[in-house]
Each structure stands twice: as C-alpha cells, then as structure tokens.
Amino acid sequence: MKFDTPATTNPIDQLRIVGQPVERIEGPRKTTGTAPYAYEWHNAVPNQAYGYVVGAAIAKGRIFSISLAEARRAPGVITIVTADTAGKLGKGKWNTARLLGGPEIQHYHQAVALVVAETFEQARAAAQLVHVRYVREEGAFDLAGARASASVPKTGVPETATGDFAGAFAAAPVQLDATYTTPDHSHAMMEPHASMAVWSGDKLTLWTSNQMVDWSRGDVALTLGIPKENVRLISPYIGGGFGGKLFVRSDAVLAALGARAARRPVKVALTRPLMFNNTTHRPATIQRIRIGANRDGKITAIGHESLSGDLAGGKPENAVQQTRLLYAGPNRLTALRLAALDLPEGNAMRAPGEAPGLMALEIAMDEMAEKLGLDPVEFRILNDTQVDPEKPQRPFSERRLVECLRTGADRFGWKARSARPGATRDGEWLVGMGVAAAFRNNQVMKSGARVRVDGAGTVTVETDMTDIGTGSYTIIAQTAAEMMGVPLDRVVVRLGDSNFPVSAGSGGQWGANSSTAGVYAACVKMREALAQKAGIDPASAVFEGGQIRSGERSMPIGAVAGEGGIVAEDFIEFGDLNKKYQQSTFGAHFVEVGVDAATCEIRVRRMLAVCAAGRILNPKSARSQMIGAMTMGVGAALMEELAVDRRLGYFVNHDLAGYEVPVHADIVSQDVIFLDETDPLSSPMKAKGVGELGLCGVGAAIANAVYNATGVRVRDYPVTLDKLISRMPVST
C-alpha cells in the first residue's frame, strides 16, 4: 500500500481498541522471566559455549604481537579468535570502525580477541591470559583542540543560509551570542549487547539484541562475506537500545566467528565495562548560538553552529536540526563541523540531533527572553511559525506548540514563577521553574507485515519489527484487533525474526507509526481476502465481534478462513507527503527544581510534559515512553558525562558506578498530557511518535529552572553543583 494522499476515515478511527490504555500484552512474560533475552536462549540449542571479548588497551596504533599460548592452556578453553585467524572480514554499512581490530587498532576497547570456553567464568579467566603488545600512536582526543582541523561533514544537515543572517544579527537591537557544550553520552541500556550464534553448514542463525533486524542482517552478511539470505537474526525481546543497538556490534560478529571456529553454538555478552568504549556513544558537541531580536521580541536572526567529532569516516551529531524549523525569523544560518577524533565511534543515541541541539537552543531562548524582559513561554509563542521558516510555502502537517506551551503553563502553575532568579525559597531550598520547547521530526519508513487468520478466528501478525521496551507488541496487537474486529486476546504478535516481513524497525521514533501502518496495510488485504471468500462486497464488509458482516449476512472470520487459514501480506510505503508538508512532533517541558542554598545539591521536584504528536495509539505505553524519556533528560541535564582521558583516548567512567543515570529516588513527580490530535498526513494510523520527543528539551528546561532558582547560568552540561557553588552569592 502506498500512502501518498491524506488519510480519510478508516477502521482505525473507530478507536475501540486503538487509542485505549491497554496493558502490555507481553508484560506477564517479562515479569515472570519467561521472555527470553538474547543471552537467555538456554534451551534453543544444546552444547552452548561462552565467548569473552578482549578489548584493545590502546586508542590508536597497532598490535605488535599477541600471545595466546597461556590462554589456550587455561581450563575449558575451546578456541580463540583473533584477526589473524578470523579470515578476511568486511565492514558493515552502518559501522564506522571494524568490529574485530588488529593489527591496526582504531579505538580503545575495540575487540582484538574472543576467547571461547566451556563456561563463562573459564572464558573470562582465560581472557586475562591473552598477552597483547601494542605500538601506541598519538591520537586526537580533544574536541575543542581539534576545531582547527574540523571540516564540513559529507552527511548530516546541509549548511543552510536564509536571508542575510550576519547583517540582521549585527543590526538587531537585542543580541545573544553564547556557546554551549554537551558531553559524550552513553546509552547505558539495562541489557548488554549480547548474541548467540549457531552455524548449520554455511547458514548462520544469530539470537541477538538488535533494534533493526534487516539492517543488521545485511551488515552481518557484509562483515562475514556471506549472502544475506544465509543469515537469520532473531531479536524478539530487547532490554533497551536507545540507538546503541541500531547496528551490529562485536558481540554478534564475534559470536559468529567463535561458533565457526568452535564448531558449536557460542554466546557472547559484552560486559558492562566494555560497553562504553567498545560500542557507540552520543558524541559531545560545542554549539554556538546567535539570536538577534527586535525590542518587541520578534526574532530577526537565528544562527546555530555545532562542532562534534568522530572517527575518520564517521558522522556528525546533527545538533542544529531543530533550529531550522522551531522558530520564525527571516534571517537564518545553520552549520555543522566534524572533527576527526580517535575516541570510540560516535553514533545515534535517543533523539540524535534534537536532544543535544535543544539542550543548547532552549537555554539560549531562555537567555534571550530575559534580555528582552519577556516571559520565556510568551517569547516562544511570539516566535511560533506555522510554516517551514526556510520555505514559507511549505506548511507543517500539524503544529500545536503554542497550545502545548499554554496548556503546560496553566497546568503547571507557571504564573507562580518569579521572573527574578533566586527569589523563591522553601526552607533550605532555592526553588526555580524552567520551560523548554520539545521538537522532534516525524520520520516515516517502509514497513511490512504478514497476517494470518486461522480456523479458530485467531489473528497472528508477523513482522521483523522489534520491541525495545516501547510497547510494539501491544500497539501492533491493538491495530490488528481493530482492523479485524476481534478482541485483543484473539491476536498473537510475533516480532523480531528476519524470517518475517521487513519492517521499519525501532529507531528515530518512527517505529510505532510506521510499523502499525504496515500492519494496517496487511489487514486491509486480509479484509479483502476474507470478504472475497465469503462472497461479500469488500466495500460494505463490517468486521466486528469476530464476524464479517454485510447487511443481514454475518459469519465468523475463522469459519471463512477455514481449516487451512488465510494469509495476507503487505507493506506500507510513503509518498512525498512528508516533503510537501513538514511533519514534526511538538511539546513543552516544565520543570521545578530545588537547589540547596548551602551545598548547591540539585533536586528535580516536579516535571510536566505536554505533547502534540498525532494520534496516541496507546496512552499508557506512550506515557511510559514519555516519563522514561523525561527521566533520561534528568540524566543528561544533571549527571551523564563520559569523562575523556585526553592523553590515552578513552572514556574513563565505563561502568554504572562512574557513569551515573537517574534512579527512582531522583524522580519525584512526573506528569504527561497528550493533546487530542490526529495527523492524517502522517499515515493511515494518523499517529506520529513520542519515544524521543519526551527527551527533547528536558535538559534545557532543567538548566533553566536551576538558573531561575539560583541566578547562576550554566552553559556546560551536566549542570553539577561544582559549576554552581563558586558563583553563588554568599549569604551573610
């Protein structure tokens, strides 16, 4: 099915099951421990062996020698894989560095060996006996220091210029020119990267934890130099990904190589300390923002430039993305610079682009509002735009940022905020409120599904779509139940297997809308097939209560399907509606913080997000996505920072003791409001996405609240107490 004209009324609009806050259908499996994650397929195949990854101890250079003799003699060792023995390997399309290093080393903790043994403990012990001597080379590890050598990236947002930015900025009566920094971040998902590989002849099956089954199937094949058809990927349950599992990582490739060498199934999990440097991370940014405005608060010039780094051949962090679209203003400029660094590979982490971009832009907007003497909510509303500011003939499909801001201000009690920083006190706490806009583009991706109706009337949906903890199982079941007119418990959803039709996968918050639209398309075909078989005009057929009905005639769909059942398969693909219209999701984040007047300890007291993001397919799972993303935003604002060793070139705090993320005790009160919205330009589901929107802007709302509480403006994330305390007024 091609979606190239706006959606009209369709069976989803009944909202009998879609749009209802139903509970996760796979919840009981997860809470009873019977949903197998990648490392837990204990009974899938016999004779499983364990692989342990050895990571490089240098950031850049070569392996001079590698001695395996002692490790080979260790108890239980079956085989050891290194670049010397692995044979010729390719590199995946989505990988920047090779997943097995040697002799050249491209980054710290790049895998250099896999030790395979009878038990995990034996593999781990033997891995300590692999002796590697390196020839270390100097590398570039400091983003600011690499600025001079940075270049215009080949990918990412193009450099944009509209009107005369320089002239308008220089002429603006009120100006802001400020630089903001965001540090490197790690996905730090609960479930580590893990895979189990089994060869049958030249065919490989990989049980793994991966967001994008088809991309990764292709990349495993490319890396191993085998046909894609010979690879099967199985990834039905994923304990968090956040972009860190969009791609194949060393666990998958090394499990495959280990299993080939050991001639038996091999499973590999990355240990927590390996994950931070062996896999990808969100790159640090240095962002310069210039805003010029008239005294009435209208923006006349807005410029955003961002520098980030990556390994040679890598990509920039698209931190300027939202600045092209979020606020009006005739004179505009965005630019990216990419520096070659020898740190581990940077790549997508939840809301890549907008998340770090808004951390900067939305502080800048707060600073600008203060300069103008305007309320920060009103300043944003004053500069709203209903069209693409670079191409005014191009409207937004739906844009209700103003309503999000107004609703949020009202519900949060924004009126009580003092515009003067440091003016509100509650005992030992200085109290402040902050606001930020949320913005994330709506991407659409081709997505397929197969639907089967059996003789009992059970509807089974198969697609290689993944559920990374987001609720995919549930919204796909809701979609099929709505379309086929059956209760939710008559739908079986099977996900995450490359034997199923290729889906959109989970990424860029496109998963919910695109994958359910693919299921919609397959169900439309199924409805036609059932109607035809029942001798009913498909146009007049009604699917309800497990029956297909037309006029007086009605039959159970199972009876129509018969003993053999009926199968229908289709995919959704998207025309150019997202080019004619700018499709984005919007929100507003409101935060109240307390800052201890003596110690500067920061506590988030309340958070509210108001979102306008198309039809909400399941308010309960969408709310969970939002509060999870808002929690992640607390981490980005106040805690998360990969500390770079600029001499040796690695992330020092590579575990959860050193890389802190929020815990329940850090999160007191969170609320989420979804505006009632449908976007018929987005898909037949009229939905968009919220999984990443929830993160976009939170960091700045918190930083702005800290400023409102203390009067200290921190432009370098994370906002930690040491950055406040030396600048706090001393009370006497």
* Active site members: 692
The token pair at 367 is 């600073």
Q: How far is the CB of 443 from ligand MOS (least distance, A)?
A: 9
Distance CA(557)–CA(484), nearest Å, equals: 9
Residue of minimal CB distance from ligand MOS?
A: 243
List, in order, residues 6 or more apart from 154 with CB less than 8 Å away. Answer: none
List, in order, residues 6 or more apart from 272 with CB less than 8 Å away. Answer: 192, 654, 655, 656
Q: Which is nearer to ligand MOS, 242 or 414 (CB)?
A: 242
Q: Which residue has the tokens 């030396």?
A: 726
Q: For residues 380 and 408, is the Cβ–Cβ distance under 8 A?
A: no
Count of CB atoms situated within 10 Å of the CB of 420:
10
Q: How far is the CB of 128 from ligand MOS (least distance, A)?
A: 34
Q: Which is nearer to ligand MOS, 281 or 494 (CB)?
A: 281
Distance CA(76)–CA(49), nearest Å, equals: 10
Q: How far is the CB of 353 from ligand MOS (least distance, A)?
A: 9
- Cα–Cα distances (Å) from 151 to 9, 10, 165, 335, in that order, read 49, 49, 21, 11
Q: Which is nearer to ligand MOS, 352 or 594 (CB)?
A: 352
What angle do the packed helices 619-638 and 698-710 form, to 10 degrees?
Answer: 50
Distance CA(273)–CA(579), nearest Å, equals: 43
Q: How far is the CB of 628 from ligand MOS (least distance, A)?
A: 13
DSSP character at residue 577: H
Report the candidate in 170, 710, 687 with the shortest Cα–Cα distance to residue 471.
Answer: 687
Count of CB atoms situated within 10 Å of the CB of 551:
9
Q: Which is nearer to ligand MOS, 350 or 450 (CB)?
A: 350
- Cα–Cα distances (Å) from 104 to 99, 112, 136, 467, 474, in that order, read 12, 10, 10, 36, 46
Distance CA(15)–CA(6), nearest Å, equals: 19
Region class of 396: left (phi > 0), else alpha (psi between -120 and 50), else beta: beta
Q: In which order are the strands placed within the sheet that holds 584-596?
A: 425-426, 429-441, 584-596, 602-612, 670-674
Strand pairing partners for 353?
A: none
Q: For residues 432 and 593, is the Cβ–Cβ distance under 8 A?
A: yes
The token pair at 130 is 């692999």
User: Which helix H or strand E contains 534, and what residues bound it?
Assistant: helix 511-534
Site residues, ligand MOS (CB under 6 A): 211, 241-243, 246, 348-350, 352, 507-508
Q: How far is the CB of 242 from ligand MOS (least distance, A)?
A: 6
Q: For residues 332 and 390, is the Cβ–Cβ distance under 8 A?
A: yes
List, in order, residues 6 or more apart from 239 with CB less than 8 Å away. Answer: 37, 189, 190, 191, 209, 469
Q: How far is the CB of 682 from ligand MOS (least distance, A)?
A: 18
Q: Which is nearer to ligand MOS, 243 or 344 (CB)?
A: 243
Q: Which is nearer to ligand MOS, 243 or 389 (CB)?
A: 243
DSSP character at residue 527: H
Q: How far is the CB of 3 from ligand MOS (least distance, A)?
A: 21
Q: Which is nearer to ligand MOS, 241 or 496 (CB)?
A: 241
Q: How far is the CB of 281 from ligand MOS (least distance, A)?
A: 11
**Sign of the torsion formed by the C-alpha atoms of 510, 515, 521 and 524:** negative
DSSP character at residue 371: H
Region class of 373: left (phi > 0), else alpha (psi between -120 and 50), else beta: left
Q: How far is the CB of 442 from ligand MOS (least distance, A)?
A: 13
Q: How far is the CB of 484 from ligand MOS (least distance, A)?
A: 30
Distance CA(465)–CA(460), nearest Å, equals: 14
